[in-house]
Amino acid sequence: MKSIKRNLNWIVIPVVLLLVYGCGSQRSDKEKTPLVKVYDKYLYYEDIEALIPQDGTKEDSAVKVSNFIDIWVKKQLMLKKAELYLSNNQKDVEQQIEDYRASLLIYKYKQKFIEQKLDTVIPPNEIEAYYLQHGTELKLTTHVFKGVYVKILKSVPDLNRLRYWLRSNTAQDSAQMIEFCRTNATKFDNFNGNWMQFTDVFKEFPVPAMDNAEFLKNRTFYEAENERFIYFLKIKDYRLAGAPAPLMFIENDIKNIILNKRKTLLINELEVNIYQTALDKGNLEFIKQ
């Protein structure tokens, strides 16, 4: 790569100057000024006009031109090598190109059709129905829990009251705990009652690695501290990896499953309709031999 760029140095700056100070109109190849030749392929001055920004510096323009020429030269050399090395059968890529083009057009059409026709509204009862039918198949891949997390300065007064409120299960104590934490805690989250990945929360605690499954099985309240802070965790409920996933935890996954099923159904109906229409209009015919 360095040798190619070194050989190009003599030509880049003149090219930039030519392009910056005067560019001609559209010309045929015979009227263009050749810049580089690789076997029977030419790169012309006029081919790189668009690379020169109107408000760019000469140095920036020189870098863009140099990189473009470098890539073009390597491409042409590799292409020539491939043409010399590969057999005629191996070089016959027309069918592959046509297959790729056909696949790409079909894919784009299907995507456009889905965008226009797909009903993305999924009512809660449809999600619940899917969960009731398939919930036991949807397993957790991580430990999850419901609870409360608090990080608070050790200097905050009345921490014993906070401990009491966290351990309590009454609505009144819970309300007092929330108000106290919102006023005094550095971090506080009850996760709106949702299921959370245990590792996402517990990594905040200044504790050594431990068996998370055993931790969840044996604790409903946990406290840790460092020089400045005390960390509290209240565990209201938990489920371990491998157990059926709670509905709230996988609700979005179920939505995606339902949407994908709808997409598949739409495409199947589209293909059937196109097939039948072609038959009815005589655009599809099975010719007997």
Q: From 13, 18, 45, select the one nearest 29 (Cα to Cα).
A: 45
CA distance 34 to 241: 67
* Whether pLDDT at 4 is above 60: no
CA distance 5 to 68: 10
Q: From 213, 59, 74, select the one nearest 143 (Cα to Cα).
A: 213
How confident is the model at residue 84, as a pLDDT?
Answer: 87
Confidence category of residue 184, pLDDT binned at 50, 70, 90? very high
pLDDT (mean) for 218-227: 92
- Half-sphere exposure (CA, 13 Å, Cβ side) for 50? 3
CA distance 167 to 251: 30
Confidence category of residue 21, pLDDT binned at 50, 70, 90? very low
Q: From 198, 177, 173, select the one nearest 188 (Cα to Cα).
A: 177
pLDDT (mean) for 90-114: 91
Confidence category of residue 36, pLDDT binned at 50, 70, 90? confident
pLDDT (mean) for 148-158: 95
Q: Which of 29-38, 152-161, 162-171, 251-260 has the lowest mean pLDDT?
A: 29-38
CA distance 65 to 71: 10
CA distance 161 to 167: 10
How confident is the model at residue 9, as a pLDDT?
Answer: 54
Report H helices in the chain: 2-21, 58-85, 88-91, 94-117, 124-134, 159-167, 171-184, 198-202, 212-218, 247-280
Q: What is the mean pLDDT of the chain?
A: 86
How confident is the model at residue 87, as a pLDDT?
Answer: 84
Q: For 118, list phi and psi in degrees, rounded to 5.
A: -70, 130
CA distance 62 to 52: 9
Q: From 136, 124, 114, select the one nearest 255 (Cα to Cα).
A: 124
CA distance 28 to 20: 21
How confident is the model at residue 56, as a pLDDT?
Answer: 64
- One DSSP character per residue, 135-200 reads GGG-B-SS-EEEEEEEEEETTSS-HHHHHHHHH---HHHHHHHHHHHHHH-SEEE-GGG--EEHHH
Answer yes or no: are the C-beta atoms of 113 and 266 closer than 8 Å: yes
